[in-house]
Amino acid sequence: TIVHKLSAKRDHFASCCLMMISTMKVLLSAFFFFWTTTISFVTCQEVPSIFPNETFPSARQNFCDLHRRVESGEGIRRSVLEGMHLNVALFTYQLDKETGGIKESPGMAEKILDELAERAGFTWRNSFGTVASPSGNETWTSVLHYGIDTYDILGDWYLRTTDRLNNGVIFPEGWYDGSLIMVRKKAEVSDVFSFFSFLNPFTVQLWFLILATTVFSGIALYVLEYLDDRKLDTKMEFDVSESLFSAVFLSMGHFSSHPRSTASRAVHFSITFLFLILIAAYTANLASFLVVQNAPAIVINTMRDAVQYDLKICVLRSSTSENYMLANYPNARLVRKDSIGDTYLSVADGSCDLVLTTVDTFENNRRSATYNANCNLEWVGRVVSFTTAGFTLRDSEAYCSSLLRDVIDLHMIEMKASGRFDEIWEDHRESRTTTTCNESESDTDEDTDENDPRISIKNAGGIFILHFVATVLCVALSFIHYKFKAPKNDEPEPNTNRLSVTSAISATSDRNNDLHLIGRRFSGGRQTIAYRNNLNKRRTMAQNNNGGGILQDDWIENHNVTEDQMELLNTIHKQMISNDQRQKKEMEEMRESMAAMKQLVTEVTGKAYDKPESEMMP
């Protein structure tokens, strides 16, 4: 009996202890709930923890009483929120990391909220909640739904999409341009002086081929000229160097030759046609190579171009930009980043070719030394998708949240109409500008040398230097030749006998060359009286050197002519006689032709044709 009683008392004591423990747990839970609620909504120096909706009470307020007042005429929408405190949720990245409160230099969202609070008469800074960026399997959309289900309004911008509208997300008047655009790093332009920039239109191999073709053509022209002279029994008028020089002129489009045979004409035509094509190709490409171009090798106008070029595109993980790419371009090479700043840094370090971002995000980051230190970020192509962004709240008939949306819309539209909205944006961007990049440098580069389409010294200076060097070198060589190779006054007098014979030979050679030119220029027996007189004058110079004939005995004795020189003079004299006889025969044939022509003219006209020979000559 005693043992049974003791056992009953022990069970009763154990039950009492369990009851006391349960009661203490309930009290501790209530105290913890009271403490966290007080910290979250009374102080703004601590970041409240995020609890699931099942255990953390909603901070959303009911606006139905205010809505009924407006509907009944007791209040007006403009000031219906006056004196009220809105429970706003801020992201942890909007807060100061040390204090957990709002930063001394707040972002654009906080500035817009301050302006709305001043105009509508409500407060929001005294207490606020916080939400964290998505992690793990969370998405920005899931964070959005949690925030608007827990608080009156989410205090940062979200893109307005059809899916979110369909799921009951309300978007008041937007204050952020959320249109999706493509941003990349500008192509680096070489601004170094290029000496041989004029050679860029053709490759090195082609330049060597042109040089070899020019030399080969010059040699071919010399061979053809030599064969023509041998066939016509004439003397070569130029040597190999002059033939090469003529080929160089042909390569530049300058034609100054007079081919005599069919083969020579065909070769000239082939050379001219070849270099005509080459000069046209060189001219067409020269401008594009002389002008420094900033345009990159890949031109991107649309997102389709970026996908076709297989470019790496940075997007914010689980964001609207990622969802857009997955829905429209599933084969695109996406590089997912955990923050917007990381997407811009990836473009700067080259790990991404493009970043799909929003217009206002780009306008903010391009002024930042962190993301655009070298001022080389640029917006490329057209807008990928047009949309707006702004604050968000949950559509609820039970909470009458449409009233809050209407009040925000009213004051946002007034801010934009009065210009106050633009002033806030301008002040915000100026306060965040940490680089020397400005709008004129980033958007309009008309005054920069980098994008100047005109040809500069850096592009074409090499060819001028080459010309100046060649000119100075030629003048210097000519001066050296004049200085050290010219005959001096103290040199002995030359041999007069040798000069006399040489002058006779030279005069006779000139005359023979003139006779050869007669056959070329006046084929068919035609020549002018003036040209005949010139030949006679040459003949007189050859036969009457130093006042007497070169073959007279007294002239030979006086000048001590050797046997070899005498033999040479006899040969020249025989050639002169032969040429004179041939010329006399040609003149007789020409006179006979002129007499026949006079007779024919007389028969045709019926009048005697008595004009002198000089008027009948061509």
User: How far apart (Å, rounded) are the C-alpha atoms in residues 432 and 436?
Assistant: 12
Chain centroid to Cα 112, Å, comes to 41
pTM above 0.85, yes or no: no
Percent of the chain's residues with pLDDT above 70: 68
Residue 498 pLDDT > 70: no
| Residue where the block lists tokens 């009763």 | 12
DSSP states along 396-408: -TTTTTHHHHHHH
pLDDT at position 457: 67
**Contact at 8 Å (CB) between 182 and 89?**
no
Could you tell me if 463 and 198 are in contact, meaning their C-beta atoms sit under 8 angstroms apart?
Answer: yes
pLDDT band at 210 (very low <50, low <70, confident <90, very high): confident
**pLDDT grade for 137, boundaries at 50, 70 and 90:** confident
pLDDT at 573 over 90: no
pLDDT of residue 299: 83
Q: Are the beta carbons of 129 and 46 closer than 8 angstroms?
A: no
The proportion of the chain whose per-residue pLDDT surpasses 90, expressed as a percent, equals 34
Query: Which DSSP letter does residue 198 get?
Result: G
Q: What is the pLDDT of residue 497?
A: 44
User: Is the pLDDT assigned to residue 245 strictly greater than 90?
Assistant: no
Torsion of CA 119, 121, 127, 132, to 10 degrees: -40
Q: Which two tokens stand for residue 35?
A: 């403490």
Band of pLDDT at residue 557, cut at 50, 70 and 90: low
DSSP sequence for 25-44: HHHHHHHHHHHHHHHHHH-S
Residue 582, pLDDT score = 84
Q: Please give the Cα distance from 197 to 293 (Å, whole number).
A: 13
Q: Is the pLDDT of residue 75 over 80?
A: yes
SS3 content of the chain, % helix, strand, coil (to 5): 55, 10, 35
Run of H or E including 143: helix 140-150
Q: Report CA 572 to chain centroid distance, whole Å.
A: 72
What length does the chain have? Answer: 618
Q: Which of 142, 477, 490, 452 is nearest to 317 (CA)?
A: 142
Residue 189 is predicted with a pLDDT of 59
Task: Please report the pLDDT score of residue 568 as a whole number.
Answer: 78
Q: How far is residue 203's CA from residue 130's CA, in Å, rounded to a whole number? A: 64
- State pLDDT tens for residues 232-244: 777 766 677 888 8
- Cα angle at 81 between 79 and 83, to 5 degrees? 100
Cα(426)–Cα(428) distance, integer angstroms:
5
Cβ atoms within 10 Å of 17's Cβ, excluding its own: 10
Distance CA 340, CA 482 (A): 76
Helix (H) or strand (E) holding 155: strand 153-159
pLDDT of residue 537: 52
Kindly tell me if the per-residue pLDDT of 255 is higher than 80.
no
Higher pLDDT, 73 or 552: 73
Name the amino acid, one letter, at 554.
Answer: D
What average pLDDT does the structure give for the chain?
76
Indicate the angle between helix axes 402-418 and 108-120, nearest 10 degrees. Answer: 100
Q: Is 562 helix (H, G, I), strand (E, B) or coil?
A: coil
Confidence of residue 69 (pLDDT cuts 50, 70, 90): very high
The pLDDT score that the predictor gives to residue 441 is 45
Across 79-93, 180-194, 571-585, least confident range: 180-194
Element (H, E) at 603: helix 563-605
Candidate ranges 233-242, 259-268, 521-530; pick with highest mean pLDDT: 259-268
**Run of H or E residues at 119:** helix 108-120
State the average pLDDT over residues 520-545: 46
Distance CA 145, CA 170 (A): 11
Q: 329 or 279: which carries more pLDDT confidence?
A: 329
Lowest-pLDDT choice from 66-75, 247-256, 406-415: 247-256
Bigger pLDDT: 338 vs 438 = 338
Residue 533 has pLDDT above 90, yes or no: no
98-102, 128-132, 186-190: range with lowest mean pLDDT:
186-190
Amino acid at 340: I
Q: How far, in Å, CA of 572 to CA of 542, rounded?
A: 10
Nearest to 133 by CA among 111, 156, 112: 156
Question: Across 207-216, 244-253, 556-565, which has the greatest mean pLDDT?
Answer: 207-216
Query: How would DSSP label each residue in 200-211?
Result: TTS-HHHHHHHH
Which tokens sit at 240? 């190999």
Range among 262-276, 462-476, 492-506, 507-521 rated most confident: 262-276
Q: What angle do CA 356, 361, 367 make, to 5 degrees?
A: 115
Q: Which of 142-146, 440-444, 445-449, 527-531 has the highest mean pLDDT?
A: 142-146
